[in-house]
Copies of this chain bind each other. A is one copy, B any other.
Amino acid sequence: MNYTFSSFTDGLKSSAVREILKLTQGNAVISLAGGLPAEDYFPIEAVKEAFERVFQTGGKGSLQYGLTEGYTPLREAIGTRMAAKGVTVKPENMLITTGSQQAIYLLTRIYLSAGDVILVENPTYLAALQIFKASGVQVVGVDADEHGMLMDDLDAKLAQYKPKMVYVTPTFANPTGKVWSLERRQGLLARCKPNNVLILEDDPYGEIQFDENASYPSIFSLDEHPEGSAVLYTSTFSKTVVPALRTGWIVGDSRVIAQMAKAKQAVDLHSSTLDQQALYQLLTHFDLDGHIRTIRKEYRSRMELMKSLLQDARFADLKWSEPQGGMFFWVELPESIDASELLKKAVEKGVAFVPGVDFYAENPRRNTMRLNFTHTDNASMKLGLDRLAEALAAYKQNA
């Protein structure tokens, strides 16, 4: 047999993050690579009890096929959580997905065609870039500073490219950790809506904020009623509860959601109903907000440790900002250092990170890297940064 593949595979590179994950599985490499939450804080008892409650209350009926749109009580419970943040959505405005990754994929599938243009922050989430590129969509980066996209460049690119969509992660962006100002959020909405440009707001990290008193309103919440909204908002429980449940959701105009549900029906019929029911039980019987306060505190303390380690003299020529939430430090190395080459040295020394290059839609800066601070415990993080320092020294010596 001679296998010949579709053009979709041309755009698909196996993500560097996941290849590194494979490389480091089960061996002694300390991984600062993945966007993994800390297992130490997984609410395993609550998850276990949630499943027990599903079997107890749902009986055999809990094991049958379910609705493509998602388990209705779960959609209602998520709606209640969103209402607490000032956003009113009905079940018909929401689709449950296999992680927010699937929400990005499904919206791309139903809304974009090969040749369409999408604007993104540059750099941005690499797995979203993969979807857009594999789908034949032209991805154009918009210039940005620490407060979000620059409105002048956005204006210019809206005029030049007539994009169908803008993809943003305005709160603790991956990989940069950046938070958009309210003004830029409003600015993006004010420019997109009159031009019929859809905004996909990806918010996996929004709940992981280190300042309990800060408020980061979603772009979705700045728009009107979901019906007619220019914004589709997606989030996930992978970072706040546990990744293994693979449960995300997307909200927006019911006509867009309905098209996504039809696509999901073709793609996988529906996501695991057991997981959805368990998550519903967890949301209604577990103090998730209390749990989120705990992980905010713990992740902040891990971030502070990494910050203090990065302030060491061995890293004096690295540039970075202190993240206000999320899971990552975005680090700029000296111009002469190619982070992908540095990674090889680092893995030899026993530490892994993600080179920044794959996060760029265009004009990649090869002297960048992303460091995760949530997954490793204090001892491993110290050891990991020691090893990174060794790798840097070895790289410079050979150069």
- List chain A positions with a Cβ less than 8 A from chain B: 1-9, 12-15, 18, 21-22, 34, 36-37, 39-40, 42, 44, 47-48, 51-52, 55, 59-68, 97-99, 101-102, 105, 109-113, 127, 130-131, 134, 164, 193, 196, 198, 228-230, 238, 242-246, 253, 255-256, 259, 261-263, 265-275
- What B residues does A12 contact at CB under 8 A? 259, 262-263, 265-266
- What B residues does A263 contact at CB under 8 A? 8-9, 12, 134
Q: Indicate if the CB atoms of A1 and B229 lie closer than 8 Å.
A: yes
Q: Indicate if the CB atoms of B36 and A266 lie closer than 8 Å.
A: no
Least Cβ–Cβ distance between A4 and chain B, in angstroms: 8
- What B residues does A261 contact at CB under 8 A? 14
Q: Which 3 A-B pairs have the closest CB atoms?
A: A63-B242, A98-B268, A102-B268
Q: Indicate if the CB atoms of A39 and B55 lie closer than 8 Å.
A: no
- What B residues does A4 contact at CB under 8 A? 111, 164, 196
- What B residues does A270 contact at CB under 8 A? 246
How far apart sit A245 and B24, CA to CA, in the bound complex (Å)? Answer: 29
- What B residues does A36 contact at CB under 8 A? 64-65
- What B residues does A37 contact at CB under 8 A? 64
- What B residues does A51 contact at CB under 8 A? 48, 51, 55
Interface centre among A13, A261, A272 (most CB of B within 10 A): A272
Q: Could you list some 18 contacts between A and B, CB below 8 A?
A: A1-B198, A1-B229, A3-B111, A3-B253, A4-B111, A4-B164, A5-B110, A6-B110, A9-B259, A9-B263, A18-B265, A39-B63, A42-B60, A98-B272, A127-B266, A130-B266, A134-B263, A272-B274
Q: Indicate if the CB atoms of B34 and A60 lie closer than 8 Å.
A: no
Q: Indicate if the CB atoms of B63 and A42 lie closer than 8 Å.
A: yes
Q: Indicate if the CB atoms of A267 and B102 lie closer than 8 Å.
A: yes
Least Cβ–Cβ distance between A28 and chain B, in angstroms: 17
- What B residues does A230 contact at CB under 8 A? 1
Q: Indicate if the CB atoms of A198 and B99 lie closer than 8 Å.
A: no
The listed residue (B111, B245, B271) touching A274 by CB distance below 8 A is B245
- What B residues does A9 contact at CB under 8 A? 110, 259, 262-263
- What B residues does A65 contact at CB under 8 A? 21, 34, 36, 238, 243-244
- What B residues does A193 contact at CB under 8 A? 1
List the B residue with the shortest CB-CB distance to A104. Answer: B266
Least Cβ–Cβ distance between A310 and chain B, in angstroms: 25
Least Cβ–Cβ distance between A293 and chain B, in angstroms: 19
How far apart sit A258 and B263, CA to CA, in the bound complex (Å)? Answer: 23
How far apart sit A263 and B22, CA to CA, in the bound complex (Å)? Answer: 17
Given contacts A36-B65, A42-B63, A48-B52, 20 further A-B contacts (CB under 8 A): A1-B229, A2-B196, A3-B255, A3-B256, A6-B109, A21-B65, A39-B64, A44-B60, A47-B55, A48-B51, A51-B51, A62-B244, A64-B243, A98-B272, A134-B263, A244-B273, A246-B269, A246-B271, A246-B272, A272-B274
- What B residues does A265 contact at CB under 8 A? 12, 14-15, 18, 127, 130
- What B residues does A13 contact at CB under 8 A? 262
- What B residues does A7 contact at CB under 8 A? 113
